[in-house]
């Protein structure tokens, strides 16, 4: 087994406020990296700025991060941080803002670094220390060494590097209370994908499976409640947030498998939100494993305490109606990107390009 996750994680009431001194321990100037509205709406920005002011830390705010953040926006955030003389970077928001903050920390420490240099890891200096404050219960980016960005050609890539681990990450369920229902469902179902894709990954071991199984057990009831139109209590939000951290810990050990990577295509080309884009392939993943390694599929259902029908019902309740259509030509043109792809290769039962073609045809090729 192997496990490495050096982030100091704090969740629960007062996580930011109680740790104000920890923020200040990284220096007296910092850059806050956020999305357009979520940092304000969630209350997280107010908590962070109050903590920084109390500790005498000066800050600038870059609030230009969009969903599926572009490398260009991270370069800009990095420049803002560098010009301000920031000693550390604080990302506040969902996975998009957190991933952008990780990259901004690289660009801030390496002024002049361009997109190519970023992807080729020509990082002469270590990134600035990264602190993260999560406002979605979804990506688990707080616990991962991954930043998923969109390049200048419009392609999403995940970059993995130990230097992208945050020094510390904070989250409170109350920050997620302002999420709309569609974002609650899209981010919540992303947690299920992380847990399932980690479990059904070649790199899975007893540690990663423990995170994945516990994550599924925690998320099922609150996510089902939300999907069925129920009002979420703070305790439901807390369970979803804890599950998102467990999902992050699970994929931190294993990576994701084909569902995430094929999902990137739907986000890039059809604007499908990240969580929905991966989860649409979960039934196919379960089906594939059930066919090729029935004992291992059974183990997943036994350990999570959920039957296949229950899981598929949850996925169905969360996903919007599938209105995506692809032509045969579009499918054929997309396939090469998955021919030599790590996430596809890491799916526990070998997935061939022909099988991916079949899955895309079944889901999207309709008359
Ligand atoms: P997101 O893109 O960060 O946020 C989705 C939407 O929700 C945005 O419009 C955002 O607004 C809004 N929002 C966020 N928090 C809110 C709150 N508390 N209240 C109200 N609105 C809020 O969504 P996400 O699913 O968390 O992140 C998705 C990204 O993470 C994708 O790029 C995905 O590929 C990546 N990802 C990363 C990892 C990893 O390990 N690093 C793992 C899986 C996925 P604003 O625009 O105003 O912020
Ligand atoms: Fe994800």
Whichever domain contains 347, its CATH number is 1.20.1090.10
Q: For residue 34, which atom of ligand 1 is closest to its CA?
A: 48
Identify whether residues 171 and 186 lie together within a single domain: no
| pLDDT at site 239 | 98
Residue 3 lies in a domain: no
Identify whether residues 167 and 293 lie together within a single domain: no
Tokens in use for 190? 């992303």
Task: Report how far ligand 1's centroid is from the alpha carbon of 199 (Å).
Answer: 23
Cα–Cα distance between 150 and 22 in angstroms, integer? 32
Partners of 90 in the β-ladder: 32, 131
Identify whether residues 24 and 136 lie together within a single domain: yes
Residue 2 lies in a domain: no
Tokens in use for 60? 């600038």
Residue 1 lies in a domain: no
Residue 344 lies in a domain: yes
Q: For residue 143, which atom of ligand 1 is closest to its CA?
A: 40
Residue 342 lies in a domain: yes
| pLDDT at site 367 | 59
Identify whether residues 111 and 209 lie together within a single domain: no
Identify whether residues 268 and 342 lie together within a single domain: yes
Which residue, judged by its Cα, is nearest atom 24 of ligand 1? 95
Cα–Cα distance between 71 and 208 in angstroms, integer? 30
The domain of 303 spans 180-364
Residue-by-residue DSSP string for 18-73: GGHHHHHTT-SEEEEEEESSHHHHHSHHHHHHHHHHHHT-EEEEEEEEPSS-BHHH
Cα 293-294-299 angle, rounded to 5 deg: 105
Identify whether residues 89 and 108 lie together within a single domain: yes
Identify whether residues 188 and 143 lie together within a single domain: no
- Answer with the one of 175, 206, 234 that is the final residue of a domain: 175
Task: Report how far ligand 1's centroid is from the alpha carbon of 97 (Å).
Answer: 7
Cα–Cα distance between 272 and 278 in angstroms, integer? 9
Identify whether residues 268 and 201 lie together within a single domain: yes
User: Based on the structure, what is the number of domains in the chain?
Assistant: 2
Identify whether residues 20 and 155 lie together within a single domain: yes
| Helix axes 308-318 and 294-304, enclosed angle (nearest 10) | 70
Residue-by-residue DSSP string for 143-158: G-SEEEEE-TTS-EEE
The continuous run of DSSP H or E covering 92 comes out as: strand 88-93
Identify whether residues 221 and 354 lie together within a single domain: yes
Tokens in use for 79? 């420049």
Q: Which of 139, 154, 191, 260 best tests ligand 1's pocket when mutated (most atoms within 8 Å of CB)?
A: 139
Which residue, judged by its Cα, is nearest atom 32 of ligand 1? 68
> Could you read off the pLDDT tens digit of each residue along the chain, which spans 367 residues?
989 999 999 999 999 999 999 999 999 999 999 999 999 999 999 999 999 999 999 999 999 999 999 999 999 999 999 999 999 999 999 999 999 999 999 999 999 999 999 999 999 999 999 999 999 999 999 999 999 999 999 999 999 999 999 999 999 999 999 999 999 999 999 999 999 999 999 999 999 999 999 999 999 999 999 999 999 999 999 999 999 999 999 999 999 999 999 999 999 999 999 999 999 999 999 999 999 999 999 999 999 999 999 999 999 999 999 999 999 999 999 999 999 898 999 999 889 999 999 999 999 997 5
Closest ligand to C-alpha of residue 188 is 1
Residues touching ligand 1 (Cβ under 6 Å) are 35-38, 41-42, 67-68, 93-97, 99, 135-136, 138-141, 144, 146-148, 175-176, 178-179, 183, 187, 190, 274-275
Task: Report how far ligand 1's centroid is from the alpha carbon of 85 (Å).
Answer: 27
- Answer with the one of 123, 146, 175 that is the final residue of a domain: 175
Identify whether residues 99 and 128 lie together within a single domain: yes
Residue 39 lies in a domain: yes
| pLDDT at site 350 | 86
- In terms of Cα–Cα distance, which of 261, 248, 283 is closest to 343? 261
| pLDDT at site 333 | 97
Tokens in use for 238? 């807390």
Residue 110 lies in a domain: yes
Q: For residue 37, which atom of ligand 1 is closest to its CA?
A: 47
Identify whether residues 360 and 241 lie together within a single domain: yes
Residue 244 lies in a domain: yes
In this structure, which long-range contacts are made by residues 332-335, counting pairs with CB atoms below 8 Å and at least 24 apart in sequence? 332/357, 334/265, 334/360
CATH at residue 104:
3.40.50.1970
Tokens in use for 172? 């409170």
Ion ligand 2, residue ranges at CB < 5 A: 190
Closest ligand to C-alpha of residue 191 is 2
**Collapsed DSSP state (helix, strand, coil) of residue 169:** strand
Tokens in use for 22? 């920890």
- Answer with the one of 175, 194, 210 that is the final residue of a domain: 175
């Amino acid at each position: 087994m192997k496990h490495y996750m050096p982030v100091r994680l704090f969740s629960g009431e007062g996580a930011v406020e109680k740790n104000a001194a920890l923020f200040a321990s990284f220096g007296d100037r910092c850059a806050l990296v956020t999305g357009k509205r979520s940092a304000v709406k969630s209350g997280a920005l107010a908590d962070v700025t109050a903590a920084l002011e109390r500790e005498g830390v000066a800050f600038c705010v870059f609030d230009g991060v969009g969903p599926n953040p572009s490398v260009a926006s991270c370069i800009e955030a990095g420049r803002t941080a560098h010009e301000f003389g920031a000693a550390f970077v604080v990302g506040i928001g969902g996975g998009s803002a957190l991933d952008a903050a990780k990259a901004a920390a690289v660009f801030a420490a390496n002024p002049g670094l361009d997109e190519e240099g970023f992807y080729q890891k020509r990082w002469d200096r270590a990134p600035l220390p990264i602190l993260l404050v999560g406002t979605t219960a979804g990506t688990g980016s707080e616990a991962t060494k991954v930043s998923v960005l969109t390049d200048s050609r419009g392609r999403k890539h995940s970059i993995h590097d130990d230097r992208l681990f945050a020094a510390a990450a904070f989250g409170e369920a109350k920050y997620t209370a302002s999420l709309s229902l569609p974002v609650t469902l899209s981010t919540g179902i992303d947690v299920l994908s992380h847990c399932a894709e980690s479990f059904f990954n070649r790199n899975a071991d007893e540690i990663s499976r423990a995170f994945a199984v516990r994550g599924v057990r925690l998320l099922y009831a609150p996510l089902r409640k939300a999907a069925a139109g129920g009002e979420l209590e703070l305790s439901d939000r807390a369970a979803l947030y804890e599950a998102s951290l467990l999902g992050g810990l699970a994929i931190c050990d294993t990576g994701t498998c084909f569902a995430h990577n094929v999902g990137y295509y739907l986000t890039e080309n059809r604007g499908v939100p990240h969580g929905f884009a991966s989860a649409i392939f979960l039934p196919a993943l379960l089906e594939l494993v059930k066919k090729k390694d029935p004992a291992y599929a059974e183990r997943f259902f036994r350990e999570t305490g959920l039957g296949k029908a229950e899981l598929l019902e949850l996925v169905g309740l969360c996903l919007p109606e599938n209105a995506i259509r692809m032509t045969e030509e579009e499918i054929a043109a997309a396939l090469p990107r998955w021919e030599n792809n790590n996430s596809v290769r890491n799916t526990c039962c070998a997935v061939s390009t022909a099988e991916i073609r079949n899955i895309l045809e079944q889901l999207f090729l309709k008359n």
